Amino acid sequence: MATALPGTDRGGDPDEHDDRTGHHDGHHDGHHDGHRAAAGRMNIGQVLDLLRADFPAISIPKIRYWEEEGLIRPERTPSGYRKFSTADVDRLRYALTMQRDHYLPLKVIAEHLDAIDRGLEPPPIEPVVPVVPQVALSGDGTPSAASFARRDQLRLSRRELLKIAEIDDEVLTQLEQFGLIVPRTGTGHYDTDALVIARTARELAEFGLEPRHLRAFRAAADREVGLVEQVVAPLRGGRDAGARARADEAVNEIAALSVRLHATLVKAGLKRG
């Protein structure tokens, strides 16, 4: 924790007034403060103006807290006003980026900044994203029955889905409007299927196919689901303990076969064309 500096008393912090409005310190420090400002020193309000476009959530309390945690060390005028250098702003920008894009805790960010201070390179940043399980595929590349049986517990927030799938919020909204992606009931999270659909939609968009064009895929899938459910309905009605398990196994097998048939028919049709 950084040592408290003059002017940090919460009851009368000078930053509450002049630093927020962008005014200089006035007559208290005379030409000294003017010399610091001319040398490139900024008050906290000016720092907010520089960072807010990229980091809308930045605030004066957050900057103060990070100063208390030792991430930045702005100068202080004799009257207690903070004066930030371009190096301070660079440190703030680095810390904000690490927190927003890589979800690093402040302790780790502080270690990175300490390494930079000592002339070292900070450690490489690995993408902090969920590891998406691989889908089980059959020999010809189509999903196998095992892939339909698989139930993963992947839960992605909206922000994580946008980041990992590399789509923007407007595209995701359209995919939801057309029924291609549906969040998990009651949680608002997204699963592996949503991620695969979002990624596939992004790749199709490179060929000019927009979410509205993909409604035909949704309709075709719904028809196939209806057919599978119709076939297995008698199995689900069985009274013995294994009826449910047999029905689930049949669903997986039929689903895999239907996808294989669908893919092969599309392939054959394209060959004819």
What pTM was computed for the model?
0.50
Q: What is the pLDDT of residue 102?
A: 77
Instruction: Give the tens place of pLDDT for each residue, 47-66.
Output: 999 999 888 888 888 898 88
- Element housing 75 (H / E): strand 75-76
Residue 129, pLDDT score: 52
Instruction: Convert the pLDDT of each residue in 3-35 to its tens digit.
Output: 333 333 333 345 444 444 444 443 334 334 434
* Average pLDDT rounded to a whole number, residues 135-163: 77
User: Residue 176: helix, strand or coil by DSSP?
Assistant: helix
Buried b (16+ CB within 10 A) or exposed e, 111-147: ebbeeeeeeeeeeeeeeeeeeeeeeeeeeeebbbbeb
CB neighbourhood size of 192 (10 A): 19
User: Got the DSSP string for 255-273?
Assistant: HHHHHHHHHHHHHHHHHH-
Once rounded to an integer, what is the mean pLDDT over residues 73-99? 91
Give the HSE-up count for residue 64: Cα atoms under 13 Å, Cβ half-sphere. 17
* Residue 38 scores a pLDDT above 70: no
- Find the length of the chain: 273
pLDDT digits (tens, 9 = 90+) for 107-126: 889 989 988 888 888 888 76
Contact between 78 and 5 under an 8 Å Cβ cutoff? The reply is no
Bridge pairing between strands 75-76 and 82-83: antiparallel
What distance in Å separates the CA atoms of residue 33 and residue 24, rounded to the nearest whole number?
A: 8
> Residue type at 129?
V
The 10 Å Cβ neighbour count of residue 173 is: 13
